[in-house]
Amino acid sequence: MTGVTRRGFVAGTSAAVAAGWLSGAAGTAWAETGAPPDEDGSRLWLRYPPVSDRGLLDAYRRDLQYVVTPDVEGPIGSAAGELSRALGSLLGRDMPIRRKVDGAGPLVLRTAESDAGPESYTLRRGRVDGTAAVIITGGGDRGVLYGAFHLLRLLQTHAPIDRLDLAERPRNPLRLANHWDNFDGSVERGYAGRSVFGFANLPELTERHATYARALASVGLNGTVINNVNANAQFIAPEMLIKLQPLAALLRNWGVSLYLSLNFASPMILGGLATADPFDAGVKDWWRIKITEIYQAVPDLGGFLVKADSEGQPGPISYGRTHADGANLIAEAAAPHGGIVMWRAFVHDFNALEWSNKAYETFKPLDGKFADNAVVQIKNGPIDFQVREPAHPLFGALPNTNAMMELQVTQEYTGQSTHLCYLVPQWQEVYGFDTHADGSGTTVAKIISGQTYGRDLGGVAGVMNFGDDTDWTRHQLAAANTHGYGRLAWNPGLKARDIATEWTRQTYGNDPTAVATITDLLLGSWQTYLDYTNPLGVSFLIKGDHFTPSPQTNTAWHQADAEGTGFDRTVATGNGFTGFYHRPVADRFENLADCPDELLLFLHHVPYGHRLTTGTTVIQHVYDSHFDGAAEVGRMRDRWQGLRGRIDVKRWADTAERFDRHREQATLWRDTIAGYYFAASRVLDERRSWVQVTPTGNAAICLIGGRENQVRLTLANASAAEAELVAGLPERDGWTSGTASLVLPSKGDGTVDVPVTPSLPPQVLTLRPTLRSGDLPALIAEQPVITAPAGGRCLLAVDAGSATSPLLEGYRRLSPADVWADGAPYGWVGGAPQSRDRGIADPLLRDFVNDTRARTLRLTVPAGDHELHLLTGDVHDSFPTTVKLDGKVVAVSEFLLGGSFAWLTISVSGGRTVDLEFSGVPGQHWHLNGLAILV
Ligand code: GCV
């Protein structure tokens, strides 16, 4: 849709009831199914179905007959339009907008300066021009808008409004959405499709942009950073700034300020300068001019967010400057325009042993050195949005610096869009954490709001979970996190149950069984997720995708050995982290006897027999929590099944499918973690017996397609008696396989080689072994596999890498030394690439050729039409590799997490030489591990 007008979004009457944003319903009729009409989730919690309670409806209709507004522009105009359309729909009749009181039942919007600030509001009954009215009084325009959404919430949740008398103000000045949306429309850690902003189509806006802005405003969010902190400098290129203007204008009408993430090296990338040193006069000038240009395009831009010297992002450290120097460079340039800079404290060196300490050690000495319009943005915990972490020790360590908190709404480590994990209880734990920084009661909430240290700037940012999927979040219940994040940002003191109930009623209606069931499912889900993924605070039991259980790849984090597990972060014997907290928190964390159970393994390394405050041993707790947690997911799924007919069929079925996958994944977590801890500890579960199969080694394995391989599996007997175990591999799409058996004593383990012949074409997949042993249940962990076609069945089979690394059997070497010569099968033209051998994993996966520059490989391709397969990936994360054939882009790989690989397939007509050009994203390496043309 082009040319969206203000009128379309702002002004409106109940005629808009027919418009898409209100209806959103289609398909199966209520009468046929007994369920309400189908919905697609696109309206989120902004649904305004007719009020079904007759008594309430009559009362609402009596009190709310038309909207009186002083303005049809800006946030007040948006409030009037929203009220008119929404009340028109809720009350099933016209809800006109007027400029003055004119008969019974006015809903009056107005502003009046208030000590509680421009975002505050009151909702009251009173008389206006002698007429009884419902009055929304905002401390400013935004206050009116927030008050309007409050009133709508009351009606959506069927609350009475006859004694309306409430006053509200936000606790946090900054209440921001952070999007990790990339210039190309992809979303880092996004699990619901591509960017909601449609950058490529800007300045064109769609109704979706408006729904986005309304959703933010409805929960009181007042700003959004629209691009990834791993920032592409093109966002501040002149052509982009122009394209952002209509988006900024739309957001402005809903009280949402636009912010941008900056790339610290922009003066070099865009300005062609030789340095980005914050002390360099040219760099200062460049930022001053650039930021002035940005504010010319978007005069009320909120400001900037910067990730610097973190995970490969440029920053001031390379110039011998500090983070404060870097932040102040931007802050100084933004100050004349009223802009701020949010500077992230998320710095680490990918070193598990140091990670928890690095941000504190880096930022604590800088307290008081940041400009007044700079805010340090601190993740909720010291690691990286793990399922549970203690509150970050920087909260309360920076009394002379503006500080804000960063939460993660997108569920990177908490089940993505597959597991239900309602994070409001997690966030409340951190908001309520008592740092004791300024005596007892110095909660994180009070510090970040600015209250504790009397600072004007502070607040909270949430990394968003929205994507361009119709329902915004793919798992429709995940939108409860978006809503809950906003509601807590407004007031961290709200009760989790109230927030969850409110969202459920708004989203699914007021059927008491549906409300009670969905609220319970939400509220219990974080604890359940903790139970089967995160025993006692252990972090990173996860693969590079941050989804799949993989304790074997991250041993440094859990430190499980034969005797015990946990990360010693004490001052006495560990990495000293507990000493960063104020007393008595530091003492409680340091002393094993006082350490809270739920953080025990985050802070201490203990023997498996260590007893928790519950009296249970650590190892038994690991088993119990994983079995109980996975069983609870089964019950959650069943409870959802029980809602059939109480909510619309479409949304019910979408979520039923999510719960089926959730249950599978919870079982995989249970099997992987309980199996891993049994293998490490050899302590039998007091309550259960089982046999188990786990991957051998900690990396993906490579199998040869089209001929027999042996897959080595590790089996173990976690029962009290000897058992015979029979392991196999599933026969899938043209694969054949056998079985192998082993007799194991109680607590014994051993390996078997299971024969398998994969089909010939190359694949990347996960193998799920089978295991039988009489009646004993089997715990099954999965094995990532890459198959490569047998060299003998290829016209060309090439293993790319260094000149000396081992070669996959039947494959020829391609290294930087292979320079093209006429008649050769292949070789580099115009310059050779680099190569790396990681020394781990098998011959094909361990090494590759790579470069940050584009390089061209010339190939002699035999006559005929062929498919050419190219393998790309690394044991570390790898950025996309682009392949051009004869000058045209024919394949681009996705961003691949460490240990992941992809085969790219392109069609080639042979009988000639072809040129393949490999390139990466600017500054990043492309990778080529192998190449094959099947016979
Ligand atoms: C935007 C984690 C995530 C990254 C993210 C980073 C950050 O490491 O995995 O995707 O990058 O945090 O917060 O900067």
Mutate to test the pocket of ligand 1, among 187, 384, 389, 894 (most ligand atoms within 8 A of CB): 384
Q: Tell me the pairing of strands 564-565 and 736-737.
A: unpaired
Cβ neighbours of 493 (radius 10 Å): 12
Q: What is the largest CA-CA distance in the chain?
A: 97
* Cβ–ligand 1 contact at 230 (below 6 Å): yes
Measured N-to-C along each axis, helices 512-533 and 618-641 cross at an angle, to the nearest 10 degrees, of 150
CA 896 to centroid of ligand 1, rounded, Å: 14
Q: Please identify, by atom number, the ligand 1 atom nearest to the C-alpha of residue 228.
A: 1
715: β partners:
693, 750
The closest of 23, 20, 24, 18 to 40, measured between CA atoms, is: 24
* Cβ–ligand 1 contact at 385 (below 6 Å): no
Known catalytic residues are 311, 384, 412
* Cβ–ligand 1 contact at 547 (below 6 Å): no
CA 876 to centroid of ligand 1, rounded, Å: 15
* Cβ–ligand 1 contact at 877 (below 6 Å): no
Q: How far apart are CA 755 and CA 769, in angstroms?
A: 12
Structure tokens, 527: 């604890």
Q: Is the dihedral of CA 181, 186, 187, 190 positive or negative?
A: positive
Q: How far apart are CA 567 and CA 552, in angstroms?
A: 15
DSSP label at 317? G
Q: Tell me the pairing of strands 458-463 and 223-225.
A: unpaired
Q: Are the beta carbons of 473 and 190 closer than 8 angstroms?
A: no
CA 326 to centroid of ligand 1, rounded, Å: 20
The residue whose CA has the least distance to atom 2 of ligand 1 is: 384
Q: How far apart are CA 412 and CA 405, in angstroms?
A: 17
Return the residue matching tokens 């809270």. Answer: 596
Q: Are the beta carbons of 799 and 932 closer than 8 angstroms?
A: no
Residues in Cβ contact with 187 at an 8 Å cutoff, skipping those fewer than 6 apart = 179, 180, 181, 193, 194, 195, 228, 467
Residues in Cβ contact with 167 at an 8 Å cutoff, skipping those fewer than 6 apart = 116, 120, 121, 122
The closest of 553, 519, 458 to 783, measured between CA atoms, is: 553
The residue whose CA has the least distance to atom 12 of ligand 1 is: 384
CA 1 to centroid of ligand 1, rounded, Å: 33
Q: How far apart are CA 356 and CA 793, in angstroms?
A: 50
* Cβ–ligand 1 contact at 188 (below 6 Å): yes
C-alpha distances (whole Å) from 162 to each of 155, 403, 523, 793, 876 are 12, 41, 30, 80, 61
Which residue numbers in the chain have pLDDT < 70?
1-33, 698
- φ/ψ region of 335 (left if φ > 0, alpha if ψ in -120 to 50, else beta) reads alpha
CA 465 to centroid of ligand 1, rounded, Å: 14
Q: How far apart are CA 507 and CA 453, in angstroms?
A: 39
* Cβ–ligand 1 contact at 384 (below 6 Å): yes
Q: How far apart are CA 805 and CA 844, in angstroms?
A: 10
3-state SS string for 161-203? CCCCEEEECCCCCEEEEECCECCCCCECCCCCCCCCCCHHHCC
DSSP H helices in 24-160: 30-33, 54-63, 74-91, 141-156
Q: How far apart are CA 146 and CA 210, in angstroms?
A: 16
Q: Are the beta carbons of 196 and 213 closer than 8 angstroms?
A: no
Measured N-to-C along each axis, helices 496-508 and 424-431 cross at an angle, to the nearest 10 degrees, of 150
Structure tokens, 551: 């304790």
DSSP H helices in 219-304: 238-253, 266-269, 281-297
Return the residue matching tokens 């907290």. Answer: 581
Peptide bond into 777 cis (omega under 30): no
Q: How far apart are CA 314 and CA 36, in angstroms?
A: 53
* pLDDT of res. 29: 39
The closest of 107, 144, 138 to 125, measured between CA atoms, is: 107
CA 809 to centroid of ligand 1, rounded, Å: 38
Mutate to test the pocket of ligand 1, among 178, 180, 406 (most ligand atoms within 8 A of CB): 180
Return the residue matching tokens 């303005």. Answer: 71
* pLDDT of res. 33: 55
Q: Are the beta carbons of 51 and 59 closer than 8 angstroms?
A: no
The closest of 713, 416, 677, 415 to 552, measured between CA atoms, is: 677
* Cβ–ligand 1 contact at 181 (below 6 Å): no
* pLDDT of res. 898: 77
* Cβ–ligand 1 contact at 379 (below 6 Å): no
User: Can you give the pTM of this predicted structure?
Assistant: 0.91
Per the prediction, the chain carries an average pLDDT of 94
> pLDDT of 465-513, one tens digit each?
999 999 999 999 999 999 999 999 999 999 999 999 999 999 999 999 9
CA 311 to centroid of ligand 1, rounded, Å: 8
Q: Please identify, by atom number, the ligand 1 atom nearest to the C-alpha of residue 313.
A: 14
CA 228 to centroid of ligand 1, rounded, Å: 9
CA 693 to centroid of ligand 1, rounded, Å: 33
Structure tokens, 622: 């690991």
Q: How far apart are CA 518 and CA 640, in angstroms?
A: 8
Cβ neighbours of 920 (radius 10 Å): 20
* Cβ–ligand 1 contact at 389 (below 6 Å): no
* Cβ–ligand 1 contact at 307 (below 6 Å): yes
Mutate to test the pocket of ligand 1, among 225, 306, 311, 358 (most ligand atoms within 8 A of CB): 311
What's the number of CA atoms in the CB half-sphere (13 Å) around residue 922?
11
* Cβ–ligand 1 contact at 732 (below 6 Å): no
Structure tokens, 811: 């494959």
* pLDDT of res. 580: 98
* Cβ–ligand 1 contact at 189 (below 6 Å): yes
> pLDDT of 542-590, one tens digit each?
988 899 999 988 889 999 999 999 999 999 999 999 999 999 999 999 9
Q: Please identify, by atom number, the ligand 1 atom nearest to the C-alpha of residue 379.
A: 13
DSSP label at 893? P
Return the residue matching tokens 């007997």. Answer: 717
Q: Please identify, by atom number, the ligand 1 atom nearest to the C-alpha of residue 229.
A: 1
Residues in Cβ contact with 641 at an 8 Å cutoff, skipping those fewer than 6 apart = 656, 659
260: β partners:
304
461: β partners:
176, 406
